[in-house]
Amino acid sequence: MRRRGPDAVATLVSVIIPTFNRAELVGEAIESALGQTYATREVIVVDDGSTDGTPAVLARYKDAIRVVRTPNQGCAAARNTGVGVARGAYLAFIDSDDVAPPDKLAVQVPVLDAEPAVGFTYGPTVIFGSELPGERADHPVRPDDHGFVAEALFLTTRIGFGSTLLRRKAVEQAGGFDETLRHNEDTDLLLRMALDWKAVCLDVPTMRQRWHAGRKSRDEVALWCAVLRSMERVLASPGWGHAPRRDWQRCAGGFPAAWLHEER
C-alpha cells in the first residue's frame, strides 16, 4: 500500500455532471460538487443540448464551473465529452438530478491513492424523493476475496454508478462509455473495467439518488434491453471466463431473444 507523505500534492479529481433539460434540479447537483470537503477538484457540466432554462442556471456559477455545450446525443456521449476535457487523474460523475454527500471525494480519493490496482471505489447509495415514504440506503454488491467484483456485478448490476470514483486510466483502458447505449451505459462501463481492475466497496454512502417520475431508469423495458446487450458482449470478451454462463442463461431466460440486440 502506498502512503502519501505530508508534502505530497493532492490528486486532482474531475467531477462531471451531464445534464439535459434539468433546470430545476441541476443547481443542486452543482452545489454538491462545489461543496465537497476535498478541495482539489474541478467541476465540469456538459449541457447535452438543453432547450429549457438550463443555460441560464449554469451561467450563475461563472468561473466556478466549466460548461461544455453539445448537440443532444445522449448521456453516454455527454459523459465521454466530459472525460475528454477533464484534467483529473480520478473521475466522479453526478447525474443532474442527484446530489453527492459533502465528504464523497474525501473518503474515496485515499482509496485510489493507496492502491494502484484498484480501478474504482464505491459505496451505498441513499435513495430519496417526494414519491418515497422516506430515505433508504441501497447497498451494492461487494468484491470477492481477491478484490474483483465483475461476476457479482454481472449477476446483479447492483452498484450505483454515481457512488463511484473512477481511475481515469481504467476508464480509458476500457474504452469509455458505449455511445450506442441509451440506458445502462454506466454499468456497462463498470463491467468492462471490472474485468481488469480491482474494486473497493466502502461502508459509508457516497451518493444521494433522487427518485422521481422523470428518471431515465424508470423505463424498465428499455433498461433491461440494454442490460442484456451488455451481458452478451461481456460474455464474449476475452477477459471473461465461462463459469458464470449458466447463471447468464438463467437471467436471460425470461426475455425474448430479440431484446438482446435492440432497445425499444
CATH assignment, 13-213 = 3.90.550.10
Distance (Å, whole) CA 77 – CA 175: 12
Amino acid at 5: G
Cell 432497445, located at residue: 263
Distance (Å, whole) CA 86 – CA 106: 19
C-alpha angle 26-157-190 in degrees, rounded to nearest 5: 70
pLDDT in tens, 109-136: 999 999 999 999 999 999 998 777 888 8
One digit per residue, the tens of pLDDT, for the chain of length 264 reads 445 555 578 999 999 999 999 999 999 999 999 999 999 999 999 999 999 999 999 999 999 999 999 999 999 999 999 999 999 999 999 999 999 999 999 999 999 999 999 999 999 999 998 777 888 889 999 999 999 999 899 888 889 999 999 999 999 999 999 998 877 899 999 999 999 999 999 999 999 999 866 665 556 666 566 566 666 777 776 766 544 444 444 444 444 444 343 332
The pLDDT score that the predictor gives to residue 216 is 58
The pLDDT score that the predictor gives to residue 39 is 96
State pTM to two decimals. 0.84
The pLDDT score that the predictor gives to residue 242 is 40
Cβ(180)–Cβ(262) below 8 Å:
no
Cβ(108)–Cβ(202) below 8 Å:
yes
The pLDDT score that the predictor gives to residue 227 is 64
The pLDDT score that the predictor gives to residue 211 is 82
CB-hemisphere CA count at 13 Å for 34?
Answer: 14
Amino acid at 179: E
